[in-house]
Amino acid sequence: MAKVAYYPGCALKERSSHLDRSARDAALGLGFELDELETWTCCGAVPPVSSERVMNLIAPSRILKDVRDSGRKELITICDFCYNTLKRANYSIRNDEVIRKRVNAFLADDDPERTYLESDDAPWVDYDGEVKVLHLLEYLRDIIGFENLPAGLKNPLKGINIAPYYGCVMLRPEKEIKLDNPENPTIIDEFTRALGAGVVSFPYRTECCGSYLSVSSPDASTRLCYRILSSARANGADALVVSCPLCFYNLDSRQEAIAEAYPDFKPMPIFYFTQLLSLALGNGPEKQGFDMHCVDVSPILEKLDTPEAAEVGE
């Protein structure tokens, strides 16, 4: 079975462990393994906003260099913030000679201090951006092929209408990310359609959910999440599918606050795209971590024409 270097990131080890678990199960069902890096560290979560400041690039660059030094050329990640940070760091190193030299100077100075690693007598080689950073959705689209997914599905997601929510981090800035059109993306739409579900487009699918405002200004995040969820509902969605752990957290956990602020609001289940894929490949609901959701997903599972869904609904 093929193994692909995999960077889970911090969130997927705790609050979003169900994203990690469902992704691993789905990958095995498709014939490849997400091979977690042995000595990964936090990527920093956000890239620097100033071209003069390179310290924020050290953590993601170290991760990428470790992948290169292990002899691998591709790195898969799932968290949108990790993907954005790693890919933009790679872009800076590839395209800016000054940044590349400064980052490698820091990495070379730091390397002897990493005493937790096995001794390596290999000569130092600067990291020049050789590793290709891939979102798992990107790997499924470009390597596995969305068109090949239906043949391996045991439980196609027929009978439910899903609204893909992209948010703002996975797609922007377009020049550096180059995953999809940030104004009119299709990657999650095509993925969801390949699983057999109906796809619902709605106006707020690329609008921000509030991100970290959920901590500093929860009322603002509540308002933004209400607009997103109510728009998806008005356009016929039964549920929302996301890829970002922070988007999931805001859209799922804020629904109680939304209901208090907006009496007309009806709860909407939120799914990670990996959970939908894992379900469609035949893994049962008990493997998806649905107990970690704030909003009950059983009404959606009951609509699926599968034995597992029927058991959940009983």
More confident residue, 46 or 63: 63
Average pLDDT over residues 66-94: 96
DSSP state of 299: H
pLDDT of residue 119: 64
d(CA 124, CA 11): 32
d(CA 276, CA 196): 10
**pLDDT band with cut points at 50, 70 and 90 for residue 307:** very low
d(CA 135, CA 143): 11
Structure tokens at 91: 């872009």
Domains of the chain are 2-134 (1.20.1050.140), 156-313 (3.40.50.11810)
CB-facing half-sphere around the CA of 76: CA atoms within 13 A = 22
pLDDT of residue 49: 72
Average pLDDT, the chain: 93
pLDDT of residue 96: 95
Average pLDDT over residues 17-43: 97
Predicted TM-score (pTM) of this structure? 0.94
d(CA 60, CA 52): 17
Q: Distance between the two ends of the chain, CA-based, in angstroms?
A: 37
d(CA 4, CA 7): 10
d(CA 296, CA 183): 31
Average pLDDT over residues 226-238: 98
**pLDDT band with cut points at 50, 70 and 90 for residue 216:** confident
pLDDT value at 312 more than 80: no
